[in-house]
Structure 1
Amino acid sequence: MAEWDIRKLHILRTLRERGTVTATAEALSMTPSAVSQQLTNLSRQLGVPLLRAQGRRVRLTDAARLVLRHADAVFEQLERAETELTAYVHGEAGEVRVGAFSTAVPALVVPAVRALRAAHPGVSVRVREAEAEEVYQLLADGEVDLALSLAAQAPTAADPRFTRVPLLADPLDVALPRDHPLASAENLRLADLAAEPWIFGGSGPWSDITRTACEAAGFRPRREHTAAGWTAILAMVEAGMGIALVPRTAAVRRETPGDGDVVMRELAADRPVRHVVAAVRTGAEDGAAVGRVLDALRSVASQPAR
């Protein structure tokens, strides 16, 4: 029977994810020669070639992909074993490390932590603010236990490393200066704002969301000013410099000194939304402490936005 080595399988799995021996070595705090040696030993133990040279790089063989298909199931089962053992030893106690994007921290994570303190004081939460590109790497590396991101930025459901959990369909409201002619208009639609100057980021997911929503309403938004933070965006709206789409959950972060001069209007039939998801490493969703945090997040997400 072949000799299976979990450590070496983890190295092979990391190579699949990172693409090069050098990147794999960096991720695992190893030298490239040590990575190559471990994979050579694994190939010898299993009796099949795992890598083939392609120029100055290496590629996984079909045998390696077969091995990894089964290794993914092994690592999933090990995650389940670890979470069950933790639940057995600690019961309701445990620490869950949560990585979340900026607006999700005050809107979802903080209320969930407050609810957990009251209902399950033995479950502690450590929060790390991080955007999607960073947070999913932290999740893969075991640096966080649960990640929150926009669904558009999350790994696909086909990624065997993660299990996605839908949390929230977050409506987008439009921020208008209080003296804007449409600030009190009935049945305001996004299409009514086609001629307005807009404020949104120059690139990234929020720029994409704004453009996509406006184009779905039949127009391309004219970006007058560029900003990424809600404090800056709402300050410019207040000054009458333009208008902006703002996610409902971002309302808890309104920090402009005169935010009473900004009107948040709910849009009518063509109201856009953004979807927020949580993700855990596959197999870890059954962990008692992680489950408590997910339940608390779902409860907060189900409540009407302020």
Structure 2
Amino acid sequence: MELDPRRLRVLRAVALRGGMAAAAQLLHLTPSAVSQQLAQLEREVGQPLIDRSRRTASLTPAGQLLAARAERIEQELAEARRELTELNGRLSGPVTIAAFSSAVCHLVVPALRELATTHPDLEPEVVELEGLPALTELRTGAIDLVIAEYDADDSGSPGPLRGLSAAPVADDEYCIVTPTAWSPRPGSIKDLAARPWVASPPDTACGRALDRIAGQYGFTAHRAHTCLEFPTVLALVAGGFGAAVIPKLALASASPLAIALPSVPVAGHRRITVLRRDLPAGPEPRTQALVDALQTVAFDLGLTPIAMPRTPLHHN
């Protein structure tokens, strides 16, 4: 029995993505090509690997067995690439980074500029993607790194995610910004209890931070507006429509019409972390080069270095 490793990779993609169309997207093939590769693999093994009796394709027991073997082969290939890199000391090839907007603007872009000098043969690709879709793409191999963030004081953060490891980047202190047009100007968080807020969605780090701060000061935040991206939040604050919780990193693009109150310890910080796939022998050199560059940029920006990460829950 001859097994073509390339067809095993197609079977693995179907197992990871849960269907032929999604596997085709991952592999940059047409659904027809995926179907043909699987049909040929079934002829090679002499038994069905895909259960086509259901509306969505699923693997038979034989298909599951071969997909697990294909996963091990992929890990062995990753280890081979690592060993070759260590042998010649040269980093090259594609590496795909998924990140949220403020991380792309203020961390990823400067890091990639540095890597273009230190490792010119790397071929980075940036994808603005976050949350569960980013983690799904990371697990399937379509993405190599996910830059994530969560409210570091949120006790509801889950434990480590199966098959993934986390590398710390920095802690990013929250600030509270208010419109300069407000009179009298608020001097503390208590002065904002009856004011409107431009809030991040409740399941994001800043959204959770606002709820936590309001709870500690004994008021319910009036979420007059809800925005996902920080430039939008800052534009509404500058327009006089509410106060907002903003991490220090995002204030790099703040309008001079919005002012930050003096730092209040209870505001806390968000934790920025890189997620990547676990490998038996440790991080893949290309991803480690990116982590190192991101940590350097964060330090240069004055963010607080961290030694041990927790697994992120949500992004912003």
**TM-score, scaled relative to structure 2:** 0.72
Match of 1:231 in 2: 231
Matched with 1:25 is 24
- Separation of aligned partners in 1, 2:23 and 2:203: 27
Which deviations, in whole Å up to 9, do the C-alpha atoms of 1:185-239 show, x marking residues without a partner?
Answer: 4xx5xx7644321113568746754565456546542222344443342233234
CA contact (8 A) 1:171 1:272 kept: yes
Q: What is the DSSP-based 3-state SS (H/G/I as helix, E as strand, rest coil) of the residue aligned with 1:91?
A: coil
Q: Does 1:276 align with 2:268?
A: no
**Does the aligned pair in 2 maintain the 1:173–1:264 contact within 8 Å?**
yes
1:101–1:130: 8 Å Cα contact kept in structure 2?
Answer: yes
1:236-255 CA-to-partner distances (Å, cap 9, x unmatched) read: 3234321011012112222x
Equivalent position amino acid for 2:67 in 1: L
CA contact (8 A) 1:76 1:282 kept: no
When residues 231 and 28 of structure 1 are mapped into structure 2, their CA distance, relative to the original with a 3 A threshold, is closer
- Percent same amino acid among aligned pairs? 29
| Residue of structure 2 equivalent to 1:249 | 249
Q: Deviation at 1:16?
A: 1.8
1:132 to 130, 133, 158: 130
Match in the other structure for 2:105: 106
**Any conservation in 2 of the 1:169–1:275 contact (CA below 8 Å)?**
yes
- Residue 103 of structure 1 aligns to a residue in which SS? helix
Q: Which runs of 5+ in 1 are unaligned?
A: none
Query: Where do residues 267-306 of structure 1 align in structure 2 (5 Å cutoff)?
Result: 267-269=264-266, 271-283=267-279, 286-302=283-299, 304-305=302-303
For 2:232 and 2:31, the matched residues in 1 are separated by 45
Instruction: Report the CA distance between 1:151 and its aligned residue.
Output: 5.4
Which of 166, 169, 172 aligns to 1:170? It is 172
3-state secondary structure, aligned to 2:57: strand
Is the partner of 1:240 in helix, strand or coil?
coil
- TM-score, with structure 1 as normaliser: 0.74
Residue 167 of structure 1 aligns to which amino acid in structure 2?
V
Query: 1:301 and 1:241 mapped to 2: Cα distance?
Result: 31
Unaligned runs of 5+ in 2: 152-157, 305-316
1:78 positional shift: 0.7
Number of residue pairs matched by the alignment: 293
| Residues in 2 aligned to 1:212 and 1:74: alpha-carbon distance in whole angstroms | 46
